[in-house]
Structure formats: structure tokens, C-alpha cells
Chain A
Amino acid sequence: MREVDRPLRSPGMRDLLPDAMIRFRRLKQVFRDACHAWGYNEIRTPTIEYLHLFTESGALPAQMLNRVYSFLDWDGWSGERVVLRPDATIPTVRLYLEQMSEQSLAKLFYVQNVFRYMESDQPREMWQCGVELIGDSQPVGDIELVLLMRQVLESLSLGPVQIQLSHPGVIRAILSRAGLSPQEQEQVYEKILVGDLSDITSLEDRAPELSISLRLLFGLDGSGQHYLTNLQSVIAPVANEASGPLTELMAIAKVLDEMGCSYRVGAGAVGPFEYYTGPAFQFEIGGIKVGGGGRYDHLIEMVGGKRMPATGCALNAEAILPLMRDEVLQDAAITIVTTGSADEITTALRTAQALREAGMIVSVASTSSANGRWELRPLSSETGGAFLLRDTYEMSEHDCRTLGAVISLIKGQELD
């Protein structure tokens, strides 16, 4: 490897080596197969979008807006800034409005990268496997996404999948009941969105009647309809606006119970997006958050369309890839070594082609430093043999008079 006093790789950017690429392709394949089976169609949105798509109130929260890669394009003389896509849902909504809005129902999925500035060498480019369901009202769409994503994660055999349900409407109702001004609600909510619960204690002081609700909501995660019933009985009398959101959660919970899908209910599962308006969900494996999403019924209207229900969810490839099992790298099983004339190279290439047609992975090289087990050298007629086959695992050599003998020997050894 190159020894450098200063890395050539830009901070926060990642190389994917062959073993990681194999895992990435497998994740993508499993995700695509599942999405197709559930009736979703693949899209790809551009890497560069207009900045203003993301700056409307209720789109990206301020702390994420401060991390976008925005710049003036070569034709940006009008001052219109563009941005490296910091999120995949808003571009999907933009695509739907511009290209597909005649469809009352759009089931779309994508595998694409998003860019956000992070300190030091934390990843600034993240790959998402996302689904967006535009036009289907809750709870069917929400339930579908939870079950679809669970299927993907289970197919990858990463370990038990924990699902957490929540509803930003419940948190908003409590903040409103605590007497916070809309601006204060926004501030506290933004902190909650990023997992900062430091303001909860002061809320208890400010509105003691909310103490039990706050403890139940932020102090523990429950599961099942019973827990939701408990929340409803405690929160609804003091924050009536929470009643509707809790009822929405109960509708989802009932079906998930029936489908044998276990889950927990909590307050902190809402992702760091302002645009979620309804049930939100998060997926964890071994305590690591691997994905999440939720309902965003206002977003399409905000971007310029008519109001319509929508829900979306994404898996984070950076979190999932390290959890996937290593798979055997498909190094070339056979390396044909040739260093000679044009004739010898031609012979090597023709031999390689014949072996590939026999289903083998073959490379041609001028040195014998390849990683595969077998090394094959075509021999000249003067030396008597046709091929010298070397088994680098067993450190043995075999003279083979025909290519068929080579294939038989390799297949016989590998069966052993």
C-alpha cells in the first residue's frame, strides 16, 4: 500500500473494497428483490438538486441544512444554489410531482447516496436503500413498509430485528400542552429529534400534570396494544391532541400483533426530519440503528403539489454492511501465466476463454502472484506437454495433455 504523509482521499469519503462491494451488491439485490415482490418500482434521482427544495420550513431541520453541500453551478449566475442531494425522500417527492403526478398511487424505491458534511473523517456520503409510498393512506401504507423492511433485514440474516414505533404528533401535543410557544416547541422538538432529552425535566417542572405522561413516553419503551392503551389513558386526559396520533399507532399495532411482528413503542424513534406528520418507525439490530422512516403527509404540498398522504422508509447501508457476513471473494480460480510472444498470449487468451465457457473463473497474467488456487502454464510442443497445472494450496504440479484433463483435475480436486 502507498505510504503517504497526507491522504489522497478526501475526508469523510469512503472507498469500498471488493469484499465490501460484494456485501453491498447482496444488500442491494435482496432489497430490490423484496421491493419488486411488494410491487415497488425502482427510480434514481439526480445527485444535484436545487437547494430551495430542502430549505422550506418543515423540510430538512436547521441542523441538517447547515451541513448540506451547496454551491453555485456553472450556470448559477442568477444566484440559484444547488446542492448535493442531502436526503433522498424530498427528491423523490420532486420527481413524483414533475413526472408521475397523474398517478394517484406511486410505489417507488431507490438505492442511492446522500451527502452531508460531518466532522473529521466521519462518513459524508451515505448510501440509502429507500422506499416511498405516495398516495396510500395510513395505516395500510405504514404497515406495509414496516413488514417490507423487516423482510429485507431478516433475509440478510443479520440477527434479530427490533422495530420501534412512535408518533411525532404525540410529542407535539405534549409540548403544546406544556405551554411552549410555537418557537419553543420547535427548539425542544429539534433537540428531541437528535436524541437530546435534556429539556424533559424542565418540562416536568413547568407542567407537573404532564409528569406521568413524560415519564411513560420518554422513560420507558413498552410494546403492544396494552402499552398504547396505557399511554392513551394517561396522556389523552391532559393532552387531548395526542389522542388521534395514539389511535393511529394502535391501528398499526393491532395489525402487527396479528401478523406476529414484534415491536416496541417509544418517543425517540422519529428520524431527524421535520416533515414526519404521522407514525414513524425505526429498525435496530443489536442496538445499532439500521434504518427508519415515517409518514409525511404535508411534504408533497410543501414542495408544490396538492396535499396527499405519503410514507417512506430507508435502510442505511453504512450501518448494515459491517453486520453482514463476509462472503468468499470470487478471485479467479485459475491464473494463466504467460510472458511470451503475441502467439503465446493468444494461446493463453484462447485457453482462458475455453475454461470460462466451462464455467470457471480465469484470469490471464504475466506473473504468478494472483490469489486463486490454480496456476496454469501452456507449454510449447518441444517440452512435450500441453499444460502445466500448479495447485498452490497443495503445492503440487500436474502435466495435462488436454484442456479437458485440466478441467477434470480442477473439478475433481474442488469436489474433494
Chain B
Amino acid sequence: MIKFALPTGALRRPTAAFLENTGVQIPGYAAGSRSYRLQADGHEALQIRVFREQDIPIQIALGNYDLGICHLAWVEELAQRYPSDSVVKICKLSFGQSCLFAAVAAKSTTKEWSADRRLRVLSEYPNLAEAFAMAARLGYHRILPIWGAAEVYPPEDADIVVVAATDEEEVRSKGLEPIFPLLKASAYLIANRNSLGTKNLGGILAALTTSDTWGRERLRLPRAGEVTLPDPGPTIEKRRPSVRLALPDGHQQPHAIAVLKAAGLSFEGYMEAPSSARPASDDPEVEVKVIRPQDMPQQVALGNFDLAVTGRDWLLDHLRRFPSSPIEEVADLGYGRYTIAAVVSNESPAQTPEEALTLWRQQGKRIIRIASEYANLADDYARGKHFGHYQVIPITGASEGFVPEDADILIEGTETGKTIAENDLRIIDVLFSSTTCLVAQKGRLQTDPEGPLARIASQLATGALMTSGASS
């Protein structure tokens, strides 16, 4: 059996096309099947599993999969933090070309609102961002990992971002100015070193490695002094608006729009999907940015935003990791109800986490593998349930496919339970119920109960109540 990890997301279609051209047909893959386990026609020995791209190098490194396809940037992201030779870069592939750049805001002061002298380096690729900052000897800096939308943050909320783009022009089109090219690369075929040394992968390797896939692409890190931050120029005196509001993108956006409308708030560029990253506000006291809900708790804690519309799941995950973070829920907006649950395979007879633990011990499992997008909640849960020797596998999505082969238990958010059932899984414990909520820095609303911040928070809470009443 050869275990092959393939990407979901933007790389899915070009990967499917490439595999078809090489004679590997995987029904359902190109179309975006909800199943994460697929079979290739005529390749019975090939076991396909679909992952978020960034999780693939980790799975290869762990030895859970023999082969995988993902962009080189994710391989380097893993290697920078965990230098190991267990992931072998077999060859570059003829698709998925993109670059990684360190960039700053175009035409901006790099320190416009930064309250201290620390440079804020922000990226979806935090390990590469840290390697860049270290190599460039940036000195007093902070690395802020985010889930996405890095381009939205400078200049107010970040000084430097490490972003993916097809070329420099695309970076500029996002209002950024590239200052250093870290990587220009394509998708890569990667393999586990041990698998290469012990398993017969010859057939699939021969099919996938063609003459146009030779050549190597490398990460380039700056030498000391090679990166010069642009001269900030004359400081622009810009008054900070009273309310900086973070709104969610993605599947939360339609709900948020309904609440905004009911609250009598409207931000041009947000009220219809796809939204602008910086919707316009008629109210001079309010400024809006659209960022990922996962990133909002930290951004509010940092004081970059005064209010954010996010899920309680992400708030609690943040607080499990940083208990003293100065952030709190100020209103339950009531929609986007999720159950955060412990989930195991239907193959397991366990009805409770205690029974599951007993079974794992009887089976001689040395390490309990617990996979989750909520790595901090999962860690807290495993500690609280006395799992003993356990391993948290942080993942970025497609989690239902991990159990039972690549994890023993999931900490998973589910709206209807449908995807869990479709993947032959079962809930054995409920951690809590999560809804969308409004978060702010602790005590901020009380400091000026009549001010714009309290007013907007109150309007949003009322809007949510009205929306909830209308839908019930």
C-alpha cells in the first residue's frame, strides 16, 4: 500500500489535471469530493488522502504518508522550525508557481501606529518569517502568526509581512512593496525518506517524475544588512479612529451582513461577497478591516482592533494558550452555532473519552494522537482527561480524514454533524457550544459607556438579537 497525500484548496485542480496527464485518474478529486479518502482508478495499491496543503509536509515527515504534493513554501516552512531530513524533495512539478516575498506597506510610514520600537512581522508562514527576521538581523521584532489575509495588516497592524504572490506586481497590487524575495517555486512532489528506502514506490515515481520536472528551487534568506527597510519619510499625523472593527470573511460573512443591516450599520465593500479587505465607513469614528476570525482574538488583545466579530471557539482557543490575554467576550451574537466535540472513529466501541482511553491502553497504544484545528483546546482537553503520553497534531483543516489512520481522536467543530457522519466518525464528548460573539479588550467598554465603542457594540448586539428574532 502506497499512501499518497494530495492537496485540497487552490492546488487541487492543477494537481488533478497533472495526475490525469500522467495516467492517474482519481474520481471525485478534481470536483472537490467531501470525502477525504479517495481511490485511483487502476491503482489499487494507491491510497489517496486529501489534506490542506500546509499539513502535507507534516504528514510526510511523521511517516504517515509515503508521497505528497504541496507547494515548496510549506516544505520550507516546516524545515525552518524542525530541521530534519525525513522529508525528501523529489522534484518540482510544472504547476502551482508562486513566490514568497517579505513586503512592507507601499508609500507608508512603517511605524505609523506602532506604539513601541518593535517591528511587527506577520505571516501565514511564521517559521519562514522568523527565519527571515533572524537572517536579516531585524533586532527587536515580534513574529505574529496568522491564518490568512496578511496583506490587509500593513501599515497600521504590521510593519513587515511575508506573503505568497505570483510575482512582484501582484504584491504591489495588494498595496504592498516587496523588500526581499524569499522563494520562487512551484508545487513539489515530496516523499518520506524511510518510505523511499524501504518501499517500492517505483511505478508511481516513474509516472510522476518527467523530464521537465528536474531542477531545484531554493529558499533564499537575506544576509545581515541586505534588507533595508524603506525610509519612513515624514510622519503622517493620522488620528486613530475611536472604533477599529474587525469583520469576518468566508462563510461567516453572510451572517455578519445580516446583523450589520439589522443594527443599521453599513460598510461599503462588505455588504456583498466577495468583500473588500478595507470596507469604507461613513462614520468617521469607525474603521473596518476584514480578517480571519481565527486571528481576531490576538489582534484585539494587541489593541490593533477595538471590536471583533469572531467565534467563541477561537476566543477560548486563544485564552487556553494565553490565559492572561486582555480580551473578553462582550456580547453573544447568537448565530453560527457550532458544537466543539471530541470525535472518534465509528470503528471504536467507546462511548466516552474514558472508555476510549481504556481501549487505547488495552490496545497498547503508546502515544494518543489528538488532531485539531484548535491545538490549544485539544492540548487542554488531553491534559484534563489525563491522556498521559499524548501528541497534539495541529492541523489547518480537512480534519475529518485524520481519524483513525493519522489520529486517534479529533477535537472538532461541527454545525450539523453531517460531515462527521459522512466520514464514519462519532461524537463521544461535547466540550462546549460555540456561537459568534463580539470581543473587546477587557474593561474597554466600561471606560467610556457612552462613547462610540460602547455604541457600536450595543448596536451590533441589538442587531444580532433582531436577526435571531427574525429567523426564529
B-binding residues in A (CB < 8 A): 6, 52, 55-57, 62, 65-66, 70, 72, 74-81, 182-183, 186-187
Contacts and interface: CB of A to CB of B under 8 A. Distances in A.
Contacts of B118: 52, 80
Contacts, number: 72
B223 A186 contact: yes
A75 B322 contact: yes
Interface in B315-356: 318, 321-327
Given A52-B118, A52-B139, A186-B224, A77 B302 contact: yes
A56 B226 CA distance: 15
Contact of A52 (B140, B224, B322): B140
Interface in B142-193: 142-145
12 contacts: A52-B118, A52-B139, A56-B137, A56-B139, A56-B140, A72-B321, A74-B324, A75-B322, A76-B322, A78-B142, A79-B144, A81-B143
Contact of A74 (B133, B134, B139, B323): B323
B19 interface: no
Interface residues of B, number: 32
Contacts of B145: 79
Contacts of A76: 322
Contacts of A77: 298, 301-302, 318, 321-322, 324-327
Nearest to B143: A79
Residue of A55, A74, A76, A182 with highest tally of chain B CB at under 10 A: A55
- Closest CB pairs A-B (n = 10): A57-B137, A79-B142, A77-B322, A77-B325, A79-B144, A75-B324, A52-B140, A56-B139, A77-B301, A183-B223
A187 B144 CA distance: 29
Nearest to A184: B223
Contacts of A75: 322-325
Contacts of B322: 72, 74-77
Nearest to B298: A77
**Most central of B131, B143, B327, B366 by chain A CB within 10 Å:** B143
Contact of B142 (A57, A81, A186, A187): A81
Interface of B: 118, 120, 130-131, 133-135, 137-145, 223-226, 298, 301-302, 318, 321-327, 366
Given A76-B322, A78-B302, A55 B226 contact: no
B223 A187 contact: yes
A287 B302 CA distance: 53
A57 B324 CA distance: 32
Contacts of B120: 79
Given A52-B139, A62-B135, 20 more contacts: A6-B366, A55-B134, A55-B138, A56-B139, A57-B224, A57-B225, A62-B137, A72-B322, A75-B322, A76-B322, A77-B298, A77-B301, A77-B318, A77-B321, A77-B327, A79-B120, A79-B142, A81-B143, A182-B225, A183-B224
A230 to B, nearest CB: 34
Nearest to A182: B225
A77 B140 CA distance: 16
Contacts of A81: 130, 142-143
Contact of B301 (A55, A57, A78, A183): A78
Nearest to A186: B224
Nearest to A60: B134
